[in-house]
Structure 1
Amino acid sequence: MAIDFKQVGFTYQPGTPFATQALTDINVTIPDGSYTALIGHTGSGKSTLLQHLNALLKPTTGTVTIGDRVITPETSNKDLKALRQHVGIVFQFPESQLFEETVAKDIAFGPQNFGASEADALKTAADMLALVGLDAELLDRSPFDLSGGQMRRVAIAGVLAMAPQVLVLDEPTAGLDPQGRLEMMEMFAKLRHERELTVVLVTHQMDDVANYADHVIVMDQGKIAKTGTPQEIFQDPQWLAEHHLGLPKTTAFAQQLMAKGIQFDQLPLTEDQLAQALAHQLGGATQ
């Protein structure tokens, strides 16, 4: 499912002395089936744009087209329930949204809210728990008796139980250790392919952008500053620094190598790309 913004503006508390322009003239498309990273420094407008992806916020001006549904400033809130089933948002620290007495009931809540029978919803809950890599024995446990990582996976299972076509991830690895972050990101990558999802990742982790995304949107001061592939975005370190953004660790290391005289046709983003580039240079040097 593609999402298209056309001349979108958004103002908090319009018509009051506290009016704040958060988005200005947003024209961008999140392609169907893409893994899109949304990046920008704090206050750039990422969170506001994110909430337009399933009409939690409606544009003050312009239109947001989600699949075949067009959202305008005049769109009625009562007509948006079905849309929100198709775009699932995993908010930062999603485990804080758990509330039911058992894991099964928490995951089943969404499907039941959209009309599924209790039996069908509980079956979906069991399927989704397995999908996020947790054992069925946890279904009858209280979610609050689980580890932090398990709680987060249960919350994600609850979003997946709605069978969304678009999965929006808002800093999904915040607070996790490096191994936990890797496991979580690999899980999302697997889910994307298995369920043919469009994924939108909001993150400050440039390594995750380099390793997983195929499309990047850079925001600055409520506007779209640049779009492109990760390879295109990370080829201009000076531009990124001017917009208060960093580089993937491998790219930053490659820059250090360049200062020592090693040249690259293009800056590598991942360890594999760096290894291949160095092997090519060493191979050429020995011929």
Structure 2
Amino acid sequence: MAMDIRFEKVDFTYQPNSPFEQRVLFDINLDIPSNSYSAIVGHTGSGKSTLLQHLNALLKPTSGKVFIGDRVITPETSNKNLKPIRKKVGIVFQFPESQLFDETVALDIAFGPKNFGVSEEESARLASEMLELVGLDDSYLERSPFDLSGGQMRRVAIAGVLAMEPEVLILDEPTAGLDPKGRKDMMDMFYRLHKEKGIGIILVTHLMDDVAEYADFMVVLEKGKIQKQGHPRDIFNDVEWLREKQLGVPTVTEFAFDLMKKGMEFSRLPLTAEELSEELLPILEKRQVLSDDE
């Protein structure tokens, strides 16, 4: 499944030509690689949520063009035929469990496909399959979503988005409010979907550790403008710049950067715990040999 998303000179203004006019995006040029795991980071008010809503045409640009697969969205695009885009690009909003409403888990997950004309039978099959994908078994199908734990409710809500069989999944701070284990399980689940099902992921987050661990493309937004875009490794290499922008640095990178300042040499700045141990092992082995020789 290949689906490119591209922004060309996109501006967006809320309530244009009114006293409440507010420009939020400025000259956005962006190419989100097909099948990538992309991360969009920035402070509150940087325009992340507005950008996110352009990714499946919930908002249309005030000027410029957004290319979603083979569709071009311009300020003049009619709202009529946007439904197919919303099937291809699924959004998991913050606290998606607040959007659950049906009396059973099965009906809730099947709601979207049925709405798109999928048969009763096929919708039921999808509900069962997607529930399994998010790590819950069939015994949950007939339960009320409101009898589940917060983490389980979130998984059901995500299964509902997956039941639309999107090619791209947009995650808006998907682990907000979960405990550390719940967070890690949830992030591993999305990574598995990306790797095994070939679903493109676009993650909106302020957690740099998640970006370092999972993403292969990264966009930094500030006050509605793109400040940097590229591979997370290249962006995280500029630790001073990230600190200056108060964006935070992955925990491991921060630690390694401080070690480098104290004279330790790495072949590359590590982003994850795994990379740090790979870098430290030869150094420690070398030290061990030297101390054995003394």
Same fold (TM over 0.5): yes
Shift, 1:266, TM fit? 2.7
- For each residue in 1:163-202, what CA deviation from the matched residue of structure 2 results, as whole angstroms up to 9, or x when unmatched? 0000000000001111110000000010111211111000
Q: Does 1:245 align with 2:254?
A: no
2:244 and 2:46 map into 1 onto residues whose CA distance is 13
Secondary structure of residue in 1 paired with 2:31: strand
Counterpart position of 1:94: 96
Shift of 1:222: 0.2
1:107 to 101, 109, 113: 109
Give the aligned partner of residue 37 of structure 1: 39
> Percent identity between the aligned chains?
63
Cα distance in 2 between the residues matched to 1:279 and 1:32: 36
The DSSP-based 3-state class of the residue aligned with 1:209 is helix
The residue aligned with 1:279 is 281
Match of 2:61 in 1: 59
1:133: which partner in 2?
A: 135
Alignment-derived partner of residue 122 in structure 1: 124
What TM-score do you get using the length of structure 1 for normalisation? 0.98
> 1:266 maps to which residue?
268
| Offset, 1:253 | 1.1
The CA deviation at 1:284 is 4.2
* Aligned-pair Cα RMSD in Å: 1.0
- Do 1:41 and 1:243's aligned partners in 2 also have CA atoms closer than 8 Å? no
Gaps of 5+ in 1: none
Partner of 1:172: 174
Q: Distance in 1 between matches of 2:169 and 2:253?
A: 28
Residue from 215, 218, 224 that aligns with 1:216: 218
Q: Which residue of 1 aligns with 2:82?
A: 80
TM-score normalised to structure 2 length: 0.95
Deviation at 1:265, TM superposition (A): 3.2
Helix, strand or coil at the partner of 2:80: helix
Is 1:144 the counterpart of 2:146? The answer is yes
Match for residue 8 of structure 2 among 6, 9, 31: 6
Q: After superposition, what is the alpha-carbon deviation per residue over 1:220-268, rounded to whole angstroms, capped at 9, x for unaligned?
A: 1101100111110101111112222001111111122223321223321
Tell me the distance in 2 between the aligned counterparts of 1:146 and 1:85.
27
For the residue of structure 2 that corresponds to 1:133, the secondary structure is coil
Q: Deviations over 1:101-152 (max 9, x none)?
A: 1100000000000001112111110111111110111111110000001000
* Distance in 2, Cα, partners of 1:135 & 1:218: 38
Please report how far the alpha carbon of residue 215 of structure 1 lies from its aligned counterpart in structure 2 after TM superposition.
0.4
Gaps of 5+ in 2: none
Shift of 1:281: 2.2
Matched, 1:19 2:21: yes
Quote the residue 2:231 is aligned against.
229
In structure 2, the residue matched to 1:49 is 51
Partner SS for 2:271: coil
